[in-house]
């Protein structure tokens, strides 16, 4: 059952929760810690915090829709629908292969 819920897009917070470049927001999605950050270019990015020996954060897909931040933890479907309305940005981060 958890697999079915993990496969979709999940609301994290409003974009206004991270107003300045360098700000971050730590949330837990299905028991996994996820950090959402606003980088210097103004792009919102999300990373899964793994507890591996090397400790490198794993990027996850992140999208902004109507001022809301959504993340998708499922790695099976890497296709994103093109934005239908101009001015809507979708940012995708694909994890590097292990």
CATH number of the domain that 57 lies in?
Answer: 2.102.10.10
Domain that holds residue 67: 2-91
Residue 96's H or E segment, with its range, is: none
Structural domain contains residue 15: yes
Confidence of residue 77 (pLDDT cuts 50, 70, 90): low
Structural domain contains residue 97: no
pLDDT of 53: 64
- Residue 67, exposed/middle/buried by CB under 10 A (0-12, 13-18, 19+)? exposed
Structural domain contains residue 38: yes
48 and 74 Cβ atoms separated by less than 8 Å: no
Domain count of the chain? 1
Mean pLDDT over 39-68 rounds to: 82
Structural domain contains residue 98: no
70 and 91 Cβ atoms separated by less than 8 Å: no
pLDDT of 98: 42
pLDDT over 50 at 1, yes or no: no
């Amino acid at each position: 059952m958890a697999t079915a819920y993990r496969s979709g897009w999940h609301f994290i917070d409003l974009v206004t929760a991270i107003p300045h470049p360098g700000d971050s927001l730590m949330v837990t999605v299905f028991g996994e810690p996820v950090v959402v950050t606003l980088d210097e270019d103004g792009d919102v990015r999300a990373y899964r915090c793994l507890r591996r020996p090397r400790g490198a954060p794993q990027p996850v897909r992140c999208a902004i829709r109507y001022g809301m931040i959504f993340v998708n933890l499922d790695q099976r479907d890497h296709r994103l629908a093109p934005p239908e309305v101009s001015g809507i940005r979708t940012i995708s981060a694909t994890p590097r292969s292990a």
